[in-house]
Amino acid sequence: MRLRDCRSIAFALLFALPIAPLAFVASCGGGIHGGGASSRVVVGGIDLPATATREETVPLELAAGGRLRLATPWGRIDVLEAPAGSPPELRASFEARGRNAEEAKAVLERFKLARTGSGGSLSFALEGEPLVVRDGLSSAGLSAQVAYTARVPAGVHVELDSKSGALVCEGAFASALASSSYGPIEVRGTRGDVRAKSSSGNIELADVAGAVDARTDYGKVVAKRVEGASVSIASSSGSLEASEVRAPKFEAKTSYGAIALEDVQGAVVAESSSGNVRAQRLAGASARLRSGYGSITVEDAAGEFALSTSSGAIRASAIRGSVDAESSYGGVSVEGVLDGAKARSSSGHVSVHAVPGSKLTGTWELRSGYGKVDAALPSDFAFDLDAETNYGSVTCDFAVLLEAGYKAKDGHLRGRVGDGGAKLVLRSSSGAISVKRSD
């Protein structure tokens, strides 16, 4: 979803007294417009119904390899790739509030655009002093806000900083650095590294070719069609989504949100303290998925998988590779072309279904404290079986050659299937155990 062009209603540069002097940065001018009333704002008990606005257009001496930095305390920033042959420029839109049109204009006249830098590296910010007003026992410092729209060539390095506005960076830029305290961030098409940080807004990244580090405290992060050396997305309380990602190292971490991954290639680490974790079409050397209090679902994926949750169910299907799965208070179900399987649950049902093409190497281990344990294996599997339950039965569809001197008893079966070799260990404290053919 694209961010819409809308003005921030925060006008947060309106501070209640006592006030410390505000120092932003400085330069530029322009004609003042308006003075009419718009949506009402009350600050420090003072009603500010009037608005004054001003716009300035600044030509930019920028080419590929240059750097543009835009900063505003309150306001939206849009940086777009300029069409070929179009001169780079910056449009700054100023706005101020007051009790009447004259006061709003007076506030606006106190602020200007500051330009620093040269040689292909430019920086713009807002400079001015608040107008202190009093109304009875109430007082406030009134300040302006500025929003930017810049059109710059491809290959420029872009840095954006706003305390409360939305940030949009769209184009084949060399890199993008975006920071907003209370606004969403959208980055599209960057041909280099991206770093995005928001305290409370959502972050959306798409069509990025470079390393990515995107973090928000109270929003969600979405990454689509990203290819880079590493991709890291994080949120303290929001959900995380990633699709069509190619990175040797991928990391997704959230404290109170769900994680959804689709078509991710690379070594994956995904952790949620309390949300569900779902992954489809993963391909890489390894994947470690963990949830504190949620379920884990993996579908149509290849690699070595380590799956763990404290209280949710684990379901892994159409797996190509090995699985090590553990749940404290949920069931564990694994299915696929497997070359390794370990599945454990303290109180849930444990089931492993190895389809033809699987290989039993090393030791496969299935355990449940208070649930059933089921293993379904191809008919051509050869293994050493060791199955035991304290309060249940053990059944096996395979012919088992018992060890010399071994006496079969209820709840316990140990012997060789076929030529033996690899070990299949099955344990349950109080549930039934079954070994069946999967073909």
30 or 415, higher pLDDT = 415
Distance CA 76, CA 139 (A): 27
Q: Which are the contacts of 404, defined by CB distance < 8 A and separation ≥ 6? A: none
Q: In this predicted structure, what is the pLDDT of residue 26?
A: 28
**How is residue 409 annotated by DSSP?**
B
- Residue pLDDT, tens place only, 145-158: 999 999 999 999 99
Q: pLDDT band at residue 95, thresholds of 50, 70 and 90?
A: very high
- Residue pLDDT, tens place only, 152-184: 999 999 999 999 899 999 999 999 999 999 999
Mode of pairing for the β-strands spanning 401-402 and 412-417: antiparallel
26 or 127, higher pLDDT = 127
39 pLDDT above the threshold of 80 = no
Longest Cα–Cα distance in the chain: 104
Q: In this predicted structure, what is the pLDDT of residue 408?
A: 66
Q: Which are the contacts of 352, defined by CB distance < 8 A and separation ≥ 6? A: 333, 334, 335, 338, 341, 343, 364, 366, 374, 375, 376
**How is residue 2 annotated by DSSP?**
P
Asked if residues 378 and 438 have their Cβ atoms less than 8 Å apart, the reply is yes
Q: In this predicted structure, what is the pLDDT of residue 410?
A: 75
Region 362-367 average pLDDT: 97
431 pLDDT above the threshold of 90 = yes
Structural element, H or E, at residue 412:
strand 412-417
51-65, 66-80, 230-244, 398-412: least confident range: 398-412
CB atoms closer than 10 angstroms to residue 91 = 14
Q: In this predicted structure, what is the pLDDT of residue 43?
A: 74
Region 73-79 average pLDDT: 96
- Residue pLDDT, tens place only, 281-293: 999 989 999 999 9
The vertex-198 CA angle with 194 and 204, nearest 5°, equals 55
Mode of pairing for the β-strands spanning 240-254 and 221-227: parallel
* Partners of residue 261 on adjacent β-strands: 242, 279
Q: In this predicted structure, what is the pLDDT of residue 138?
A: 82
Token pair 């090393």: residue? 362
272 pLDDT above the threshold of 50 = yes
Asked if residues 331 and 345 have their Cβ atoms less than 8 Å apart, the reply is yes
Region 295-299 average pLDDT: 98
Q: In this predicted structure, what is the pLDDT of residue 213?
A: 99
- Residue pLDDT, tens place only, 212-253: 999 999 999 999 999 999 999 999 999 999 999 999 999 999
Structure-token pair, residue 321: 């590779």
Q: pLDDT band at residue 35, thresholds of 50, 70 and 90?
A: very low
Asked if residues 129 and 108 have their Cβ atoms less than 8 Å apart, the reply is no
**How is residue 261 annotated by DSSP?**
E
29 pLDDT above the threshold of 50 = no
* Partners of residue 126 on adjacent β-strands: 113
Q: pLDDT band at residue 28, thresholds of 50, 70 and 90?
A: very low
Mode of pairing for the β-strands spanning 67-72 and 121-128: parallel
Distance CA 150, CA 90 (A): 4
Distance CA 128, CA 219 (A): 32
Q: In this predicted structure, what is the pLDDT of residue 139?
A: 86
26 or 39, higher pLDDT = 39
Region 359-367 average pLDDT: 95
Q: How far is CA 56 from the centre of its chain?
A: 36
Percent of the chain topping pLDDT 70: 90
Region 331-337 average pLDDT: 98
Distance CA 293, CA 277 (A): 10
46 or 190, higher pLDDT = 190
Q: In this predicted structure, what is the pLDDT of residue 84?
A: 86
Give DSSP secondary structure letters for 118-141.
-TTEEEEEEEE-PEEEEETTEEEE
**How is residue 346 annotated by DSSP?**
S
Structural element, H or E, at residue 341:
strand 332-345
Residue type, position 157, single letter: H
Q: In this predicted structure, what is the pLDDT of residue 119?
A: 79
Structure-token pair, residue 388: 């035991």
Cis bond before residue 18 (omega within 30° of 0): yes
21 pLDDT above the threshold of 50 = no
Distance CA 161, CA 167 (A): 8
Asked if residues 55 and 112 have their Cβ atoms less than 8 Å apart, the reply is no
| pLDDT, the chain, mean | 90
